[in-house]
Amino acid sequence: MKILVTNDDGVHADGLWTLVRELKKIGDVAVVAPDGERSAIGTAVSLFRPLHVQEYASPFSDVPTFQVDGTPSDCIILGHGKLVPEVNVVVCGINPGPNYGEDVFISGTVGAAMQGYTRGLSALSVSSTSFKFSQPSVDAGARVAAALVQRIAAEDFPRIFFNLNVPDLPLEEIAALKLTRLARSSHINTVTEETEGSVKQYRLVRERLVGTDAEGTDIQAVLRGHISLTPLYTSFLDKPPQRLLKKLTADLLNELKKGKDKP
C-alpha cells in the first residue's frame, strides 16, 4: 500500500511527522507538503503560476519527502500526478486545532484530502482539537488514523473520505469513537477595522458560535471527549453504506487500547 501524506501547516510541522511515524508501520509512505504555513486555504489550487518542488530531508530515511511552494491541494495533485507513483490512499494532517462543522469548507487539511478523493482515492483528514501541540492527543490521532487506513485497505473499498477529529486526551482516556455528521456551523467570520498610520486596514476574525453541539454531530462527540469520524462525500450517490462504516470502525478503539490493532 502506498500512502501519500500532506498537511496545511508545512513540511516542518511536528504533527505531520507523528502521523508519518505510524503510517509507515502499515505501508510505504511518501510526503509532499507545503514549504510553509498554508492554513485556512480550503481547496485552493495554483493555476496561474508555476510550482517549485525541492527534496526535503525527512526524519525517516525510508520516506521520500518533497516540499512545494503551493497549497495543500497542489501537493496532492503534484504527488499523485507526478512525484509518487501508484498512490492508494491520501492522509492529511495532523492539524493542531479541530476541523469540524462548516469549518471543513475552508480547511486546507480537509481540502487536500478532498483533492485526493476527487482523484479516485480513499482519503482521510486528521485533526487534534488542541491548538497547541499536545503530544498525547496527536499520538492518539496518528494511531487511530493508521488503524483506520489499514482497515480501509483490507476492505478494498474503491474510495472513501473521512474527517477525523481527536479530543485533547491520551488514547487511554478516550471513551469512544463515534460515527458523526457535520455540525451546521462552528464559527462565524467577522471584520474589525484599524488604522496603521494613514492607512485603513481590515482583519477577518473568527468567533466561536454556541449551540453547535446537536445530537450526533462531530462537535458534540468531541465535546464529550470522544473521537469524531465523519464520512464526507461530494454526491449522495457516493454516500458510503452504514454497514461498511460500522464494519470499518467496529471495536477499533478498544483493539488499539489492547494493542491488538496497533500498527
Give which of 33, 15, 168 is closest to 90, Cα–Cα. 33
Question: pTM for this structure?
Answer: 0.91
Domain presence at residue 193? no
Q: Are strands 28-34 and 161-166 parallel, antiparallel or unpaired?
A: unpaired
Domain presence at residue 15? yes
CA–CA separation, 89 and 80 (whole Å): 10
pLDDT score of 214: 78
Query: How many domains, the chain?
Result: 1
> 71 burial class (0-12, 13-18, 19+ CB within 10 angstroms)?
buried
CA–CA separation, 68 and 65 (whole Å): 10
Residue 258 has a CB neighbour count (10 Å cut-off) of 10
Domain presence at residue 203? no
Q: Mutual orientation of helices 135-155 and 14-23 as an angle, nearest 10°?
A: 40
pLDDT score of 260: 58
**Cell 498537511 found at:** 7
pLDDT score of 38: 94
What range does the domain containing 231 cover? 2-183+213-258
CA dist 10 to 6, 16, 94, 142, 198, Å? 8, 8, 11, 17, 35
Domain presence at residue 205? no
SS3 category, 216: coil
Domain presence at residue 196? no
Per-residue confidence in pLDDT tens, the chain, 263 aa: 999 999 999 999 999 999 999 999 999 999 999 999 999 899 999 999 999 999 999 999 999 999 999 999 999 999 999 999 899 999 999 999 999 988 898 999 999 999 999 999 999 999 999 888 889 999 999 999 999 999 999 987 778 999 999 999 999 999 999 999 998 776 666 788 888 888 888 887 766 655 556 789 999 999 999 999 999 998 877 889 998 999 999 999 999 998 855 55
Burial profile 103-136: b = 16 or more Cβ within 10 angstroms, e = fewer: bbebbbbbbbbbbbbeeebbbbbbbbbbeeebeb
Domain presence at residue 204? no
Domain presence at residue 198? no
- The residues that bridge with 2 in the sheet, in sequence order, are 28
Q: Which CATH number is 119's domain given?
A: 3.40.1210.10
Domain presence at residue 43? yes
